[in-house]
Amino acid sequence: MLTVDFSRFPLAPGDRVLDLGCGAGRHAFECYRRGARVVALDRNTEEIREVAKWFAAMEEAGEAPAGATATAMEGDALALPFPDESFDVVIISEVMEHIHDDKGVLAEMVRVLRPGGRIAVTVPRYGPEKVCWTLSDAYHEVEGGHIRIYKADQLLARIREAGLRPYGSHHAHALHSPYWWLKCAFGVDNDKALPVRAYHKLLVWDIMKKPLATRLAEQALNPLIGKSFVAYATKPHLPPVDAA
């Protein structure tokens, strides 16, 4: 299940991609399949081990084209272990809402992104997320949990302040909002509640089968209750230096 829309965020074979806070690796895997040279970075050791295993399995199965590379590594988003301008593309999906120093993370992403490079940022959308916070303290008051809710204009202002130029945005995963509302209403750790189990079964079916009916429904509902807000931006080229 991808949050970044690669039709709006073009990726070319050979692009150097950083998936920052990669989690289980869903975007890193897609970039690898598209022929990129991918680095998946996260602070969670166990998740990085799993991502590395999947990269190896994908290589063995021939799922990535010739020239594509993939590396999984542990690291700190506030002190990225890469030189300036190391990447053509940076993706940070559902991460910034967890980090106190979001300005510092954006500054690090800008530092390692080459001029003309592209960045995709996704966060939980304000409205659906506010419902979750209202229904359940346990949803966000956990170690490593969500510490803020972004409004779209706030996130875009952060992106501009970091020196990036936003060029597009949209909402995603409308069908997932009701699932999380149910989870929050019945208890975030209560997977046995019938409404939660039934809706989860629906989501799994939708992800696996991708039926046209639910694709059209989600497309129609995304502007209203899309669970994620997605923003795309570029790093501008520096103006030429006047020799005089």
Q: pLDDT tens, 31-46?
A: 999 999 999 999 999 9
Q: Report the distance separating Cα 30 and Cα 28, nearest Å.
A: 5
Q: Are 175 and 214 in contact (CB under 8 A)?
A: yes
In the chain, where do the E strands start and end? 16-20, 37-42, 69-74, 87-93, 113-124, 165-172, 228-234
For the chain, state the CA radius of gyration: 19
The DSSP secondary-structure symbol of 151 reads: -
Cβ neighbours for 157, distance < 8 A, ≥ 6 positions apart = none
242: pLDDT strictly greater than 80: no
10 close to 43: Cβ distance less than 8 angstroms: no
Whether residue 112 has pLDDT greater than 60: yes
- Contact of 112 with 86, CB cutoff 8 Å: yes
What is the reported pLDDT for 143? 80
| Prediction pTM value | 0.94
What is the rounded distance in angstroms from the CA atom of residue 167 to the CA atom of residue 7?
13
Q: Is 60 exceeded by the pLDDT of residue 145? A: yes
Q: Are 213 and 116 in contact (CB under 8 A)?
A: no
Strand partners of residue 142: none
